[in-house]
Amino acid sequence: MLRIGNASGFYGDRFSAFREMLTGGPLDVLTGDYLAELTMLILARDRLKDPQLGYAKTFLRQMEECLGLAVDRGVRIVVNAGGLNPARLAEALDELAGKQGIAVRVGHVTGDDLLPRAEEFGLPTGLLAANAYLGAWGIAECLRAGAEIVVTGRVTDAALVAGPAAAHFGWGPQDLDALAGAVIAGHVLECGAQATGGNYAFFREHDVTTPGFPIAEIQADGSSVITKHPGTGGAVTTETVTAQLLYETGGARYAGPDVTARLDTVRLDQVGPDRVRISGVRGEAPPPALKVGLNRIGGWRNEVVFVLTGLDIDAKAALVQAQLEHALDPRPAELSWTLARTDHPDADTEEAASALLRLVVKDRDQRVVGRAVSTAAVELGLASYPGFHLTALPGPGAPYGVFEAAFVDARTVPHTAVLPDGTHRTVPPAMTTGELTPVEPPPPPQQLTAGPTRRAPLGLVAGARSGDKGGDANLGVWARSEPGWRWLAHTLTVQKIRELLPEAAGLQIERHLFPNLRAVNFTVTGLLGEGVAAQARFDPQAKALGEWLRARHLDIPEALL
């Protein structure tokens, strides 16, 4: 068995988690995931200011506290904190170890940065970053060569777990089922406390004040048990694990550079308190292309929020919208108005009597979204609706980023493991690949026997977890019981999603059934516009999309309630 823990789900996660995981119980490997689509843009802007930057500085500070502890306990560290500059982070770790008088072997993985070759690959111009998603084998090579710390750039999140497992158990590229099992375990671990009760639909059932971070006990066949250190907060149940399995996934084929894992084969079993077994995962050959994350500056953005209080909210919103748009000269390329009716009738506080009207403007020219918008808004201060005021004075505008995905032939991307002794070892691409094709949808379960229904929120009988993939939103919904699944699978259709979530009504929606998980998974194409960095939507990462759905009312069988 190999015990792999996680201590970071994003750049900015709980700083103390590394120490907590190292001191909370036995571990063989401790991983940290720092990279997301938005993070790559942040690191790219760091690198523009200083070519020596471009990595997650938080990790280096964590190692200042914990390097000696990890070495003393024999825990290997595997993180993607290298970001856009893994070589420099590896150097900084060597320097840190020297200052602390600690002997430690550091390896790193490179090859993902395609920005210097953007023209060769036919990628768009004006990019700040272009990084291919590499797999697990560079990590495995470094560990096999004795590395105690491995830092990578852009690898798949699950590679942080699959790499150590492959190195420990001696797997090769042909061990697809074992690799797929490790990839699924890695997907569960990658977002930290989201697997142990964080951001969990039924959070009131557990003490999630300070949830612990997850651990995967991986076996030689790729199966695993998800758990956490004893005495830590949160919970590990089949439902907390289901929630994370559905997060930012699509159909049955979960593709990566090493293996395509079949989500429809995953089986979950509660085998003890805070212990969930993952088994039965099948693996298939990976696709021949690697995903490449592209980050660029999309233009300039500004925002003004008007406070509307008391009576005639809609008329007040219409007045100020007409006034401001008349005053804008030149007019920004994009204007988006959103009225949030947070007001309550006969409210006992002024804030509770107020609604918020939000204007977001975008343009390629900073002046058009900056001073022009700010001046137009401020000049209305004594000439608009009664009670006019803003949440804050508008600023000069700020650049916004755009994330896009491209795909390139995996054989054209160098994947290099830099071993602790400085040797560069080339990692070959997968020899056997397979094109991704849709899986034949499984038959729905037998429909629940008709009976009396009651109008109630969906969230009384179903959980949900949602997130972003570029401009698309992912929305996973699971039933809490077998009868609930029989009702959910027939009720929550694409058309019903369009009815319950009107913002998605005109968008392309894909639906996938996962009977083993009693879950329905949706992808809503284009809901998030140009992605999180563009801030096109009130909830730009669709984090709360699932909770909105759970709050919608529909006719639910009384037998389930």
In this structure, is residue 433 part of a structural domain?
no
Give the count of domains, the chain: 3
In this structure, is residue 447 part of a structural domain?
no
Q: Are residues 308 and 259 in the same domain?
A: no
In this structure, is residue 222 part of a structural domain?
yes
Query: Tens of pLDDT along 55-93?
Result: 999 999 999 999 999 999 999 999 999 999 999 999 999
- Look up residue 105 and give its amino acid: R
Q: Are residues 336 and 471 in the same domain?
A: no
Q: Are residues 103 and 201 in the same domain?
A: yes
Alpha-helical runs (H) found in 6-56:
17-23, 37-49
In this structure, is residue 291 part of a structural domain?
no
pLDDT in tens, the chain (561 residues): 999 999 999 999 999 999 999 999 999 999 999 999 889 999 999 999 999 999 999 999 999 999 999 999 999 999 999 999 999 999 999 999 999 999 999 999 999 999 999 999 999 999 999 999 999 999 999 999 999 999 999 999 999 999 999 999 999 999 999 999 999 999 999 999 999 999 999 999 999 999 999 999 999 999 999 999 999 999 999 999 999 999 999 999 999 999 999 999 999 999 999 999 999 999 999 999 999 999 999 999 999 999 999 999 999 999 999 999 999 989 999 999 999 999 999 999 999 999 999 999 999 999 999 989 999 999 999 999 999 999 999 999 999 999 999 999 999 999 999 999 999 999 999 999 999 998 999 999 999 998 999 999 999 999 999 999 889 999 999 999 999 999 999 999 999 999 999 999 999 999 999 999 999 999 999 999 877 667 767 888 999 999 999 999 999 999 999
Q: Are residues 167 and 267 in the same domain?
A: yes
Query: Which pTM was predicted?
Result: 0.95
Q: Are residues 331 and 245 in the same domain?
A: no
Distance between CA atoms of 139 and 168, rounded to whole angstroms? 11
- Nearest in space to 35 (alpha carbons), one of 215, 159, 136, 147: 159
Q: Are residues 171 and 253 in the same domain?
A: yes
- b/e burial code for range 119-150 (CB count within 10 A of at least 16 → b): eebebeeebbbbbbbbbbbbbbbbbbbebbbb
Taking residue 111's Cβ as centre, other Cβ atoms within 10 Å add up to: 22
**Structure-token pair, residue 79:** 């993180």
Q: Are residues 332 and 247 in the same domain?
A: no
Domain span at residue 474 reads 453-557
In this structure, is residue 97 part of a structural domain?
yes
What's phi and psi for 464, nearest 5 deg? -150, 155
532: DSSP letter: G
Query: Tens of pLDDT along 124-141?
Result: 999 999 999 999 999 999
Q: Are residues 208 and 85 in the same domain?
A: yes
